[in-house]
Amino acid sequence: MKFTPEKYNLPDIPMTPFIDAAEIEAFLAGPRPTMQELEAVIAKSLNKQRLSLQDTATLIKADDPESVALIKQAAKDLKKAVYGNRIVLFAPLYVGNYCMNNCAYCGFRKENKEAVRTTLSREQLIQEVEALEEEGQKRLILVFGEHKLYPPEFIADTARTVYSVKKGAGEIRRVNINAAPLDIEGFRKVKEAGIGTYQIFQETYHPEMYKLYHLAGPKKDYNYRLTALDRAQEAGLDDVGIGALFGLYDWRFETLALVRHTNHLEVCYKVGPHTISFPRMQIASNMAFNRKYELSDADFARMVAILRLAVPYTGLICTAREKADMRREVLQYGVSQIDGGTKLELGAYSEDADEPQDLNREQFHVSDSRSLHSVIDTLLDDSYLPSFCTACYRKGRTGEHFMEFSVPGFIKRFCTPNAIYTLAEYLEDYASAAQKQKGYQLIEKQLQELEEPAATQIRTTLQRIKQGERDLYL
């Protein structure tokens, strides 16, 4: 079946639910594809075309070792072609963990009496941001439970406060949000605070399974959550992130549903999600861990490769829920953003560094607790270019006709120079002497691969950064 929006079981109408579980299951049914069918889909993707649901299902069903190896190799090739070697870095900042919902998998759920509840005061928030800035962070995602204490005005004020904090050479240049779905007016208020991406995960796209995990609180309304990012678009907030929590239901279903959600946004608003996240379930405080739908490491890597091929231009995020080795592996297959120096306990960034993790104070267990310095070191060792770039949304390059990497030559023209500038700032202001040397070696290697006059222009700007100028970007 050829991909056309008219053939969906449900039509794509703005603000209208668009997931039909039977449709997704129908795509996933049927035999493993032939090698010819698989190669045709891979060729389409390497040609940088978006894959249809049918094509994506072909990749998912191709589960023999030879096919999986082909898919992974293709994802590696595509990642190099579209993204180059740059990896965007950020950190999460938990602002408040009061919650009216009772999500079965989350340490913050209402009924978890062991959870230590806090909302950062303005002073604590400033201390946290200062501590993050002192590490060299430039991009944060603010995380909130769903509670009357956290209305849109509070989220917007928190973002404004974060932008206002300047410590030494530090500043936060992009504030993203992960919080509850809002109404259109709410999204408008948050947008006015100058946020980057508003991220909401559907958790599981399967409506019946969703009910089982969300028995109480506003989150039990599947459709209100599903259409949240439609309301964001209606509010003019066109930079949105989607995601599913892997481990709640069959990963094949969730992967296809993520592509279905992407299609919906593309058809209705002419712009897909900026990012897709695929957190795997972690142990949380007082949680009975159900392993029925657990996603193995091998299938996790496969899923990332499939998503990369299906949506070549969408950023893929892999957080510190995953162990360092796993993150290193999936970087090859298409992950373009990771967090570094992550702490989930409220107030922990400004606390004594040696405090052990306390599960009752965090949403779930963090598997990669390396410092930002150490994450950057490993990236440099693997010849990745760490980037703190925030240029696009500050230059207004979001929304219709712009998707992160859709313009030919975009990476060379904007992303690589901006990554180099922000890495140089980091090396000047925060790195150890050894890391500084390593970082500039990588920058030099990068410059040698660039054409003129770009390389010379970048060298000139690098000189200005070395002499103390900051926040230079294209």
Residue 240 beta carbon to ligand SAM: minimum distance, rounded to whole angstroms = 13
The site for ligand SAM, by CB under 6 A, has a size of 20
Site for ligand SAM in 114-143 (CB under 6 A): 143
Binding range to ligand SF4, per CB under 6 A, among 98-106, 156-164, 314-322, 406-414: 98-106
Best CA proximity match to 417, nearest among 409, 407, 429, 408: 409
User: Distance between CA 287 and CA 14 in Å, rounded?
Assistant: 36
Site for ligand SAM in 160-199 (CB under 6 A): 178-180
Question: Does 106 engage in binding with ligand SF4 (CB under 6 A)?
Answer: yes
User: What burial class does residue 298 get, using C-beta atoms within 10 Å of its C-beta: 0-12 exposed, 13-18 middle, 19+ buried?
Assistant: exposed
Strands 139-144 vs 86-96: parallel, antiparallel or unpaired: parallel
Residue 292 beta carbon to ligand SAM: minimum distance, rounded to whole angstroms = 15
Sequence-ordered alpha helix ranges (H) in 166-296: 184-192, 207-213, 222-226, 228-234, 251-269
* Strand ranges in 370-447 using DSSP code E only, listed in sequence order: 385-387
Q: Which does 109 bind (CB under 5 to 8 A by kind): ligand SF4, ligand SAM, none?
A: ligand SF4
Taking a C-beta distance cutoff of 8 angstroms, is the pair 96, 144 a contact?
yes
Q: Which does 281 bind (CB under 5 to 8 A by kind): ligand SF4, ligand SAM, none?
A: ligand SAM
Binding range to ligand SAM, per CB under 6 A, among 274-282, 383-391, 414-422, 454-462: 274-282
Binding range to ligand SAM, per CB under 6 A, among 16-24, 280-288, 304-312, 423-431: 280-288
Cβ-Cβ contacts under 8 Å for 40 (sequence gap 6 or more):
none
Cβ-Cβ contacts under 8 Å for 400 (sequence gap 6 or more):
238, 269, 270, 271
Taking a C-beta distance cutoff of 8 angstroms, is the pair 243, 201 a contact?
yes
User: Distance between CA 309 and CA 74 in Å, rounded?
Assistant: 8
Question: Does 281 engage in binding with ligand SAM (CB under 6 A)?
Answer: yes
Binding range to ligand SF4, per CB under 6 A, among 102-110, 148-156, 404-412, 426-434: 102-110
Taking a C-beta distance cutoff of 8 angstroms, is the pair 319, 66 a contact?
no
Question: Does 364 engage in binding with ligand SAM (CB under 6 A)?
Answer: yes
Q: Which does 179 bind (CB under 5 to 8 A by kind): ligand SF4, ligand SAM, none?
A: ligand SAM
Residues that bind ligand SAM (CB under 6 A): 105-106, 143-146, 178-180, 200-201, 203, 245, 279, 281-282, 284, 321, 363-364
Residues that bind ligand SF4 (CB under 6 A): 99, 101, 103, 106, 108-109, 145-146, 219
